Amino acid sequence: MQVQVREAENTDLADLELLCKVVWISTYATAGIEPSFRPYLEKTFSKQALLNTMKATRIFLAEAGHLLVGAVNFNPKTAEISNLYVLPTMKRSGIGSRLIDACSEIAETAPWLTCWYRNEAAIRFYRAYGFHYTGETYFELDGRRHLNYVFTLGNKAEHLG
Ligand SMILES: CC(C)(COP(=O)(O)OP(=O)(O)OC[C@H]1O[C@@H](n2cnc3c(N)ncnc32)[C@H](O)[C@@H]1OP(=O)(O)O)[C@@H](O)C(=O)NCCC(=O)NCCS
């Protein structure tokens, strides 16, 4: 499969919204759809929210032919990678790696990201790519705190077993 990575444009936002919602649900709604999910997704991945994200960060898209199959955000000021999403049917095809490549190629300092501690597949992916555990933080949704690990590329300060 030929995959191309390019930067997102305004005309991509409707498809990007759909990709983000599909991947978010398939990753985090493991026990079912909670009432807080819909407002969170509407707020976070609305076209307006994505437009704001696009102004503040770089968004890279992965396409197979003309079809959207993955996306990632990269903030060049902080070197934070976020919202790395590959279509469920396209996992393990090298797309996530290509998207991280696009971020690290323009990074001026070591790229880092946060990942839910129970997202074991993503944690295995980040470790395989060369990220190392460098700390912990919390993601808040609907008044509940969810433990996230911080991973930094190439940083050897590993403490997690
Ligand atoms: C995590 C994610 C971005 C990885 O992207 P991907 O395109 O599937 O990953 P790649 O194909 O580039 O994988 C590269 C290597 O990482 C490792 N890896 C990736 N997924 C893995 C898994 N589920 N289990 C073990 N190792 C894995 C493997 O070494 C893999 O190489 P291989 O397939 O030749 O063995 C993707 O699975 C995804 O979008 N998941 C849902 C959303 C998500 O969790 N995003 C991250 C939020 S923090």
Q: Which atom in ligand 1 lies closest to the alpha carbon of residue 114?
A: 48
3-state secondary structure of 52: helix
Exposed/middle/buried for 82, CB within 10 Å: 0-12, 13-18, 19+? middle
Is residue 51 located within the same domain as residue 12?
A: yes
Span from the CA of 6 to the centroid of ligand 1 (angstroms)? 20
CB distance 115 to ligand 1 below 6 Å: yes
Domain boundary among 109, 131, 147: 109
CATH number for the domain that contains residue 61: 3.40.630.30
Is residue 93 located within the same domain as residue 128?
A: no
Element (H, E) at 37: helix 37-45
Domain range for residue 158? 112-161
pLDDT of residue 159: 47
Span from the CA of 92 to the centroid of ligand 1 (angstroms)? 6
Among all chains, which residue has been given the structure tokens 């407002």?
A: 39
CB distance 66 to ligand 1 below 6 Å: no
pLDDT of residue 72: 98
- Number of domains the chain is built from: 2
Residue nearest to atom 33 of ligand 1 (CA): 92
Is residue 45 located within the same domain as residue 58?
A: yes
Is residue 140 located within the same domain as residue 155?
A: yes
User: Using alpha carbons only, how large is the chain's radius of gyration in Å?
Assistant: 15
Is residue 125 located within the same domain as residue 98?
A: no
Per-residue tens of pLDDT for the chain, all 161 residues: 899 999 999 999 999 999 999 999 999 999 999 999 999 999 999 999 999 999 999 999 999 999 999 999 999 999 999 999 999 999 999 999 999 999 999 999 999 999 999 999 999 999 999 999 999 999 998 899 999 999 999 955 444 44
Is residue 102 located within the same domain as residue 116?
A: no
Site to substitute for ligand 1 among 114, 125, 152, most atoms within 8 A of C-beta: 125
Q: Tally helices (H) and strands (E) across the chain.
A: 5, 7
Span from the CA of 88 to the centroid of ligand 1 (angstroms)? 10
CB distance 128 to ligand 1 below 6 Å: yes
Is residue 116 located within the same domain as residue 82?
A: no
Among all chains, which residue has been given the structure tokens 């403490």?
A: 159
Is residue 71 located within the same domain as residue 24?
A: yes
- Helices 47-56 and 37-45 pack at an angle, to 10 degrees, of 50
Contact 61, 70 (CB under 8 A): yes
